[in-house]
Amino acid sequence: MSELAEWERKVIEKLLEGDDERLSVLRSQLAGAGAASRENTGAGLYVILSTKLDARILRQKQPIRIDDVEADVPGLTHGAGFVLYIEKGRLTLLECYAYDEDWPDQVKQINLYFRGRGQRDEIALREDLKDSFVGHAESRKESEGATVTGTPRKEKATVFVVLRIDDFQVNVHGPESLKDAVSAVQVLPTLDEAMAEVERLNEVNAGKKARYFWLASRYYPHGRNRKGEW
């Protein structure tokens, strides 16, 4: 487990602002939390959180997500958004995402605000928290100093699709045949893999009137409209 970056901690603190006792419990978890791992997807950053086993927790009927904080970030023209996931009563995952831009390699400065740059929508926040209530800390002696690492089911993931365009189809039948000329070859989890595969396929198929390229997309393993499932 590594320390949370200063900006990561500030984002979570902003997401957990408020007088509600449930937010206070989650802030107490943050005090001893760290980053179990980080994954830069290109379009965003996933920070898997680790919290102390003896921390106070929430009791909840379903996973919670808080997503009303955005930020101005140097290098991102359209800023960034954030989603905090709470599962089994614990801080689990911080998702950071850019709007149609690559996530920067480093974040040093950040200007946080609630969505719309106004006051927080407290009604919407209470709705997010409505099926949770304050639980108790793990009381076993052996839990002292132990940590729990989040293992969330991600609501969505950035993937990279390798596509092929057949020049023959376009040249013979014209632009209206483009939908028949383009085909998806494979879906890969990282940009590096997609770029390497595109380069390999273009070399192997040189002179065959086909070109390969990649596009970033989103994968929703549980669909987009299944409430309560990530």
Tell me if 214 sits within 8 A of 200, measured CB to CB. no
pLDDT in single tens digits along all 230 residues of the chain: 789 999 999 999 999 999 999 999 999 999 999 999 998 888 889 999 999 988 889 988 788 899 999 999 999 999 999 999 998 899 999 999 998 889 998 898 899 999 988 899 998 998 888 878 886 555 444 445 566 666 555 556 677 889 888 875 545 455 555 667 788 889 987 777 888 899 999 898 888 778 898 887 777 766 655 444 44
Q: For position 147, what pLDDT does the model report?
A: 67
Output the pLDDT for position 144.
56
Cα torsion at 72, 74, 80, 83 (round to 10°)?
Answer: -90
134 class by beta-carbon count within 10 Å (0-12 exposed, 13-18 middle, 19+ buried): middle
The helix or strand, by DSSP H or E, that contains position 204, with its residue range, turns out to be helix 191-204
In the Cβ-directed half-sphere of 86, how many Cα atoms lie within 13 Å?
Answer: 27
Q: What is the pLDDT of residue 67?
A: 92
User: What is the C-alpha separation between 190 and 183, in angstroms, rounded?
Assistant: 20
